[in-house]
Structure 1
Amino acid sequence: MKWTVPLRSSERRCERPRVQRSGYEAAAKSFVASDLDVNVSGRSFLITGANSGLGKATAQEIANRGGVVHMVCRNKGRAEAAKEEIVELSKNQNVHVHIVDMSSAKQVWEFAQSFSQSNDLHVLINNAGCMVNQRELTEEGLEKNFATNTLGTYILTTALIPALKKAKDPRVVTVSSGGMLTQKLNVDDLQFEKGAFDGTMAYAQNKRQQVILTERWATQNKDIHFSSMHPGWADTPAVQSSMPSFHAKMQNKLRTEAMGADTVVWLAVSEAAAKQPSGLFFQDRHAVATHLPLAWSKSTTQDQDKLLATLHELALKFKP
């Protein structure tokens, strides 16, 4: 599942045309078609949230190109139905389903450890996400947005880095959101325990955290190519259910799921993407700034260090 949080006031006026369908269509005029004319047979791709929306569109495109696809999903019925459709359209039988709740730190640890023992991995695509509008705790006592979007992504990625380092041309792609441009990292309230809860703001905070993690992972692991990206405003089931008024207002201007997933696929399979510096933030196959002009959203190195330390401590707490 993937939501892209709308920007506000001046940010919205500046960004809106670029993130809509029309922005993709304009950008696509400069795409190099041959970038995606690739065969990835023998390469293994793990995609979280792969049964619908951008995750499913990404899984389909990779299966079409012969890749081994590992779909990490929460709901078995929907996952199996999506797998059946992907296999039918791609004629690729190398599509596998793994049932994992990304909001459960223990489940993510157990899956990552088990997966890396029995599978090769070339590309990890962190796509799963949630935007819960009321503050809700998981069974492990964690705020659900943070548990899914930030801690789950952190645990899965760090646990699979050793497996990725064994592969040729390993990559990690994390699907973030332009909503993070509205947020400055707040390490003093990662689980939104203070003040009134705002699910949209919490989600955008998580997306900012993912971009910072991507930058740090790239610095720490020079032999793996890391990237994060902004899919634009896409018409996905998650947007329809979690942001109904926004969807109703913008429906005709939203990107298709394939448009939203295009840069994910490009980052995951193309040679052109691998030639880009590691750790960058992309939109429509181009690296873009992680902060708006005036840069009020920039965080200190100390705050970023605190984020990493807190996630490390929390992750170890739930490690089997």
Structure 2
Amino acid sequence: MMEHKQSPVSFDQSNLMDNLPSIGDDNEVTLETRNFSPAHLLFKIESFSLLSENGIDKIESSEFESNDNYKWKLIIYPNGRNTVDGANHVSAYLAVENVSNLEAGWEFNAVVSIFLFNHKLDKYVFKKGQRRFHIINLEWGFSKFIKKETLMDPRNGYLVNDTCVFGAEVFVVKNKRIRECLSILKATNSYKHELEVSKFSELENEWYSEEFNAGDHKWKVSVYPKAKGNGAQPGIQASIFLHKVGFSSGKKIKAHFSICMKNKYGKASSKRLANHWFSASSSSYGWPSCILVADIIDPYKGFSVEDHCIIEVEISIQAVLRGLP
């Protein structure tokens, strides 16, 4: 008798294993034996030899349930699944059932095992592999599960009193992965927007603009007349920041943008340029030391006209990273 073990079976340890399923169906399939029975399905077939006589080429088990409430059935082809396989082998497959009850775009991985009981070994011989299932790939199994002559010969221990016992186990791998899609956009699409800051000299704290649209996204600008952030000089420099408004969790936006202050002569202060990935945890980016307050209020430089300032923002959306359901 063969010793029970969970590692792949060596074919030359027993002639009872000879010509059982070839591993050619899948490179990641293993052939093993064990003492305890399958957890999800036992499928006993009586009068197996009469299947061919009665023209029965396909038999299906009742629906059974694996973990996470997925539904399955075992399908046996006593004369092989198709003409390529030929009538020399028995084919065995597992199929996902009740797919109409699964959510749109469903997909999962599962560890699949199909069993055949050997009375002489008093063990279950089984093939096991892992497979990705989805709407266009509902079945997986083995076209050459066992040679028909091996199964039919009672001396091999698989068929006793013209009766054999198949089995199945399916363990769905719980999926905790993140699904994302990165969309790259044309760099030529840019959006300019002008914002007016009223009564600049009277600002004590930060000033926020109204929301504006750029690239189907909402933004706003903040100005800190007394400066804010590391390296800033309060009262000497003004800070300017760009904010992305209304972020959903897991979404990121890559933007190239510039901010400057325009004077009444149509000229701009030194333009600040940046590239930044905006997200829920990093929804703003800017410059704590953007422009000297003295330059803003200097009437000869023209940045403040009747205590009103104009800020110009130009934004180009380069990429969008979003989560998928």
The two structures share one fold, judged by TM-score above 0.5: no
Under a length normalisation based on structure 2, what TM-score does the superposition of the two structures give?
A: 0.18
Structure (1 or 2) with the greater helix fraction: 1
Under a length normalisation based on structure 1, what TM-score does the superposition of the two structures give?
A: 0.18
* Larger of the two Rg values belongs to structure: 2
